[in-house]
Amino acid sequence: MVALPAIALPAIALAPSAHASVPAQSGTTHLWGKLNQLNNSGATGTVTASLTGDQLSIKIVSHGLLAGAPHAQHIHLGGSNTCPSNDTKGTGVDGHLRVADAMKDYGMIAVSLTTSGDTSPNSGLAVTRFPVGSTTYSRTITVSDATAVSIREGKGVVVQHGVDYNGDGKYSGSSKSELDPSLPEEATDPANCGRLEVSQMSGMPTGGVQTGAGASDDASAIAFGGAAAAATAAVGFGYVGLRRRAANRI
């Protein structure tokens, strides 16, 4: 029973690439992004990434995030594939920008940038598997073909979440997250945002298909890629079956 979806999902994910993304499979695309604060969080960061085939190596150096607290982080796709500005007001307490307020800008979760295990949208709120405080995060993960195509087009937007508005050193306050009422709004509001721009280095000529070292990732990683593809297909290409599960939205 376990083996079937692990095989079937990548098959679904790969099908659209037969004609649509063959050129994108060649070489390595280099990406760069600057994370700018949202909600006056004071949190910033720098993202560097490279994408070879479906293997995404991503590094995030963050500053100014609440210490000692987990910070959900994702690659979002959809909306206008942009970040709202820091002064954008939202529906949260004191006019703070909530996750859902910015979906028209950065869309929904395509990849959960967890520290281990699943990276699908289903792990969007897996607080035990996100970095704690300001860190240097680095991981190579398998993304779906559809997500890879969008990232190569410069549409990926990285968002880190969690803002300590009242400065008490933890996620607190009476206002609850619109995604999970068991969490304070502080835990899920976006702290910063940056678009993954394709760097000039990506124009370098390459010699055919490369398969990164990450290709040796275990079967579960491949299955996650398939799951992400299914989600991205719904999110990024026509909004068919738009999922309203909270975990997909932060």
Summarize as ranges the residues that interact with Cu ion (CB under 5 A).
74, 159, 250
Q: 135 is written with which tokens?
A: 């860190």
Q: Angle at CA 234, nearest 5°, toward 14 and 119?
A: 70
Of 148 and 159, the one with the shorter C-beta distance to Cu ion is: 159
Residue with tokens 């289903």: 122
The least distance separating Cu ion from the CB of residue 250, rounded to whole angstroms, comes to 5
Residue with tokens 């990548």: 10
Residue-level length of the chain: 250
The least distance separating Cu ion from the CB of residue 41, rounded to whole angstroms, comes to 14
From the list 221, 206, 224, 231, the residue with the least C-alpha distance to 50 is 206
The least distance separating Cu ion from the CB of residue 19, rounded to whole angstroms, comes to 31
- Residue number, nearest CB to Cu ion: 74
Of 25 and 120, the one with the shorter C-beta distance to Cu ion is: 120
Of 159 and 183, the one with the shorter C-beta distance to Cu ion is: 159
Of 157 and 222, the one with the shorter C-beta distance to Cu ion is: 157
33, HSE (Cβ side, Cα atoms, 13 Å): 31
From the list 43, 242, 68, 243, the residue with the least C-alpha distance to 159 is 43
The least distance separating Cu ion from the CB of residue 138, rounded to whole angstroms, comes to 18
